[in-house]
Amino acid sequence: MAQDKFKVFCGTANQSLAHAICGYLGVEPGKAEHGRFSDGETRYQVLENVRGADVFVVQPCSHPVDFHLMQLLLMIDAFKRASAWRITPVIPYYPYARQDRKDRPRVAISAKLVADLLETAGSNRALTLDLHAPQIQGYFNVPVDHLYASPVLVEYFKKKNLGPITVVSPDAGGVERARLFAKRIDAPLAIVDKRRIDINVSEVMHLIGDVAGRPALVVDDIIDTAGTLVKTAEALLENGATKVYAACTHPVLSGPAVERIEKSQIEEVVVTDSVPLNEAARGLSKLRVLSVAPLLARGIQSIHEETSISELFM
């Protein structure tokens, strides 16, 4: 039976995560060859039989985003042309997720375009983690299983036993994510009203909720340049928070992010290994990395065995 042929292949974006997933599943990574032509084009060749196989392709589209996205598309196309039974890209970090709507005149809805490209390449379904905008699932015409890293992060902060704490959303768009997190740890919710004045530049306006006399935990999906995070922390401390912690799924940490966090008054930034840390981030003393490999492995197993995946949802 086709369902009995189960294979996991790894892109080059985050091989440590991909190999950890294979370890939890008890399988060896599929054999393949990644290469590049002298003009920079990427190429991919599958080195084993995948005819009739249930194939999972692990590839977060982190920096350099365009290269890793193109590599993922070539991998999917190769499996389709090799007659795989089902192809499921496992995308812990979905590319172009912040371009999910027309927020200005004459701009592309890039998140939708990526979904179209993945389907055209040959994806039969997709497994994602903490999409910036959950409605991106609706851009696909194939099933999408959207997992959340919150259970991993929640468990960590429960064990820290910080006492009464307030969970904070750094903007209105992340309220639902923060609300669910707050519910899991039985904490009140606060919201920072933020007005963005340019791309990757934001200005904190004021706080909705009470953080005075207690630690605050900022919950977000992405830390990019860390401007939002640091300004949020400053606003919380100005409003009486005793300490500020952060829990974020995707540690993009581009530009001045590492320096900003190191110089900030944030006690600890807890992230996952959805994307690999850059060299500067690996030396950041305030950073703690938790693995989502077990979570993604369970998602892959549920899809392959065709069992319910809902128990993994937030």
Bridge partners, 290 (sequence order):
272
CA distance 35 to 42: 6
Task: Provide the 10 A C-beta neighbour count for residue 58.
Answer: 29
CA distance 219 to 246: 6
The one catalytic residue among 194, 231, 243, 286: 194
Tokens of 1: 């039976």
Residue 80 known to be catalytic: no
Tokens of 269: 């930034």
Q: Strand, coil or helix: what is 35? A: strand
| 232 to 140, 168, 181: CA distances (angstroms) | 34, 9, 18
Rg (CA), the chain: 20
Looking up tokens 């190999």 gives 19
Best CA proximity match to 301, nearest among 20, 2, 21, 99: 21
Q: Strand 189-198 relative to strand 201-208: parallel, antiparallel, unpaired?
A: antiparallel
DSSP letter string, 100-161 = -S--STT---HHHHHHHHHHHHT-S-EEEES-SSGGGGGG-SS-EEEE-SHHHHHHHHHHHT
Best CA proximity match to 19, nearest among 285, 111, 11, 148: 11
Which residues have C-beta within 8 Å of that of residue 252, sequence separation ≥ 6? 62, 63, 222, 223, 224, 275
**For the chain, how are helix, strand and coil distributed in percent, rounded to 5?**
35, 25, 40
Give the residue numbers annotated as catalytic, written as ranges: 194
